[in-house]
Chain A
Amino acid sequence: MSTYPEKFRFGEFVGSIVWLVFIILILVTLIGLPLIFVVLFYAPLPPVGDQVLTPYLFLSMTVDPTRTLPIIKYFIHTDLFRIAAFPGFSYAALFAAVTIFVERKFLAKMQLRVGPLYAGKIEGIFQLLADGLKLVSKEIIVPSGADKPIFWAAPIAFVATAAAVTTLIPVAPGWVAANINVGLLAVFAILGFFPLIALLFSWASNSKYPFIGGLRALHQMIAFEIPFILSALSVVILAGSLNLTEIVNSQISSNWYILFLPISAFVFYISSLAELERIPFDLPEAESEIVAGWLTETSGMIYGLIQLGSYIKTYALAALFVVLFLGGWAGPVIFPAELTPGYTGVRIYNAITASAIFWFTIKTFGMIMLMLLPRGINPRIRIDILLHTGWYKLIVLAFINMFVALALVYGGILGPGGLLVR
């Protein structure tokens, strides 16, 4: 499947790579290392483990694990790390990448195909990388008459908004980028930006099919916003808090809320499918009707960014489902409590946190798989049926379970000092 140039010689290829490595080493030694020393000498460095970071200390840390661990510990408790790496963007982006690959393989198995196969020898695991490179290398075509600032800003805003949701999700006790008391409300407030971005982008494209798609997106997201919020409200009634960490803690002290609120969980699941524009609710991108809906004029990395954003959103909503209904990180501690490597005697990880992250990841991934499933078995539904479902059926269902939740609280079964609360 791959092609190579006619005068390709393997020896020259290896030689060029060796030269490249050699040049990089030279550059690092001559420019990089002096630069590091200059920075380390002149920049005021923070004290790490009651020691002032000196160039000698820094170099000694690279060889001594007992000195490396404090600096890593210090680093992973900074806000920057939490937003950019672990509970925040990178974790979500990793989830998105895995989701894209798993979705393709999963759908392929359902449809008696093989899916990606060639990129990366083993079952095409580098397909995503190949697709990403292709998207980066493609020309971005801006339609004439497009509103250029909005056209460029909307995809970035889409990813940023999706990433903003992930900062509010607690993945383990204490592991949340923004632990605020109105967490759930903030999630819905941020999700409210998506129809606006879709409409702005479709308007800025200056084209007919995107415009129809944008209006459809607006209708759909507004129709499903209310059952979405109402289904989460019954969880708030049981937990007595809008803080997502508190909601998980109250589930740990009683039981998973999906046992008390199955209808709400169902409504939340359907609404999140609609919010994500996934089949059967992919009307804003209905291919055979309106080309690609509001994404028609996207090209190259603009399309890539919107796809990345929508998969990060998938992760965020699956994680929100886990937090609200499946007990968040609740689960038995499966990792050994103490794991001290050799001579150092320093505890390298917290067993409770590690197993919390493990359970949260497993549950979220299962939830994402459940969200991918309808794509293989359902056709797209029509806009009037969709609006009827959103405004009429799901709201009624959400209300039914809200009354159940109220009955549980006032009957003294759940809530503060309830029967089932440990």
Chain B
Amino acid sequence: MTTIEDKIEESKKLGMQIVKESEDDRLMTLSVGPQHPGSGHFRFVIKVDGDYIVYCDPDPGYVHRGDEKMCEYRNVIQNIPHLERPVIHDSNNITYSYSLAVEELVGIEVPRRGQFIRAIASELNRQVYTLYWLAIYGIFLGHSTMFMWPAGDRELFIDLLEALTGARVTHAFNIPGGVRNDIPEGFKDRCLRNVGYFEKRLKEYEDIFYNNPLFRQRTEGVGILQKEDAIKLGVTGSVLRASGVPYDIRKVEPYDVYNEIDFNVQYMRTGDSFARSYVPFLDMKESCHIIRQLLDKMPKSGEVRAKLQPNPKGPPNEAYRRVESGRGALGYYVVSDGTPKPYRVKISVGSFRNILALPFLLVGSRMADMPSIYWSLNYWPVEADR
């Protein structure tokens, strides 16, 4: 009886080479991204055994631009425009916590009307971000209508923000000391009209997308992240709330005017892809209520911006403030050495925390579930790379 080793010896004599199949020969290594329609500016290497993923290695850093280092060469006001570049679709939230931290360092109080306008702008911008995210989630699952509808309805909020700030996407609106300008005339009516229309559209989203049996089949029970694992991995935002932890920075450590607003933290208990995709949708619904309350409670007149010296500086100190962004807790750690330029700025983003769950969830799942798990993690590659 000839064994495989004998055959290999025999083949060497004949000048051929037979190589014994190793364990790795069953696996196919695929590099998903950055030139892949299902990855964004991000690469992860996966190994598949048939249809199952057995190995996953996320490789962020493709769009690293050194935003934190750039902060050290500019003064605190000049930092605003480039700090919103990591998430241009959520630019009011990413500058919000920076402004809060700088205000704590410099020691100034934002006028009450300015706090309300900030909150309105950040809520509107969260809607813009979530709609953009939802559009991409739709096209990742092959649902082209769900790509077009949210991408079109984004315009409702982009128009409002354009009237408010003057820019469609990159607003540079939140600055240390308040906001750049007061709200325009007739903004309240326009805002209420657009939000009312948007709430009607949300019902249609639910009918065509979330209640679609094929969508439910694809996402329910896929990529389950248990409550304990979610806490251990340190995920934030909608991913954490989908796993059954009602954790929202607006509720846990309310900043500015959020302790006066009455709202519920939206969360689900299942922790699967469906829950992770449905929680941002519930957040959008809740955000509409928040916008209404903010518009009602806002003082009729007053300053929107505290007086600041041209190069604001405080005593040597450090500050850490965070806000709830579209992707979860977004914190800034700012160290000042007494000069107008910050000594160190560290951005702690939700995306980077959430991507830690990717290998955990992908290994053992099917290849077809890759887009639905990946994008349900509410990951924004540019923000994670900073």
Contacts and interface: CB of A to CB of B under 8 A. Distances in A.
Interface of A: 107, 110-113, 208-209, 212, 279-280, 282-283, 286-291, 375-385
A379 B143 contact: yes
B158 interface: no
Contacts, number: 86
A383 B51 contact: yes
How many interface residues does chain B have, given as a range?
20 to 34
A112 B366 contact: no
Contacts of B366: 382-384
Nearest to A383: B368
Nearest to A209: B30
A290 B367 CA distance: 9
Given A111-B149, A288-B139, A379 B368 contact: no
Contacts of A280: 142, 214
A257 B224 CA distance: 47
Contacts of A380: 141-143, 214, 218
Contacts of B38: 287-289, 291
A208 B145 contact: no
Contact of A377 (B36, B141, B147, B208): B208
Contacts of A110: 145
Given A280-B214, A288-B38, A382-B217, A375 B51 contact: no
B245 to A, nearest CB: 28
Contact of A382 (B147, B209, B369): B369
B196 interface: no
A395 B149 CA distance: 36
Given A113-B148, A289-B371, A291-B36, A379 B141 contact: yes
B145 A376 contact: yes
Contacts of A288: 37-38, 139-142, 371
B37 A291 contact: yes
Nearest to B28: A208
7 contacts: A112-B148, A280-B214, A287-B37, A288-B142, A289-B367, A291-B38, A380-B143
Nearest to B143: A379
A293 to B, nearest CB: 11
Nearest to B138: A379
Interface string B13-45: 000000000000000101000001110000000
B368 A286 contact: yes
Interface string B196-237: 000000000000110010110110000000000000000000
Instruction: Please classify the interface of chain B as helix (H, G, I), strand (E, B), loop, or mixed, using the class held by over half of its residues.
Output: helix
B144 interface: yes
B334 interface: no
Interface string B74-108: 00000000000000000000000000000000000
B145 A381 contact: no
A219 to B, nearest CB: 10
Given A288-B139, A289-B370, A384-B366, A107 B144 contact: yes
Nearest to A385: B217
Contacts of A378: 142-143, 212, 214
B315 interface: no
B6 to A, nearest CB: 32
B145 A289 contact: no
User: 6 closest Cβ contacts across the A-B interface?
Assistant: A380-B142, A288-B38, A111-B148, A379-B143, A379-B141, A288-B371
Nearest to A282: B142
Contacts of B142: 279-280, 282, 286-288, 378-380
A212 B141 CA distance: 18
A379 B214 contact: yes
B222 to A, nearest CB: 9
Interface string B105-144: 0000000000000000000000000000000001111111
A280 B144 CA distance: 11
B152 interface: yes
A382 B367 CA distance: 9
Given A288-B371, A383-B366, A376 B144 contact: yes
Interface string B257-289: 000000000000000000000000000000000
A137 to B, nearest CB: 23
A288 B144 CA distance: 12
A283 B371 CA distance: 13
A198 to B, nearest CB: 18
Nearest to A287: B37
Contacts of B217: 381-382, 385
A112 B149 contact: yes
Contacts of A112: 148-149, 152
Contacts of A291: 36-38
Contacts of B138: 379
A282 B149 CA distance: 21
Interface string B350-386: 0000000000000000111111000000000000000
A288 B38 CA distance: 4
Given A289-B38, A376-B144, 16 more contacts: A110-B145, A111-B148, A111-B149, A112-B148, A113-B152, A279-B142, A279-B144, A289-B370, A378-B142, A378-B214, A379-B141, A379-B212, A380-B143, A380-B214, A382-B217, A384-B51
Contacts of A107: 144
A379 B87 CA distance: 27
A289 B368 contact: yes
A375 B148 CA distance: 13
Given A379-B214, A381-B218, A383-B51, A111 B140 contact: no
A378 B215 CA distance: 8
A212 B46 CA distance: 14
A391 to B, nearest CB: 16
Nearest to A288: B38
A113 B152 CA distance: 9
A91 to B, nearest CB: 29
A32 to B, nearest CB: 50
Contacts of B367: 212, 289-290
Contacts of B146: 379
A244 to B, nearest CB: 33
Nearest to A382: B368
Contacts of B215: 379
A182 to B, nearest CB: 37
A287 B139 CA distance: 9
Contacts of B214: 280, 378-381
A111 B144 contact: yes
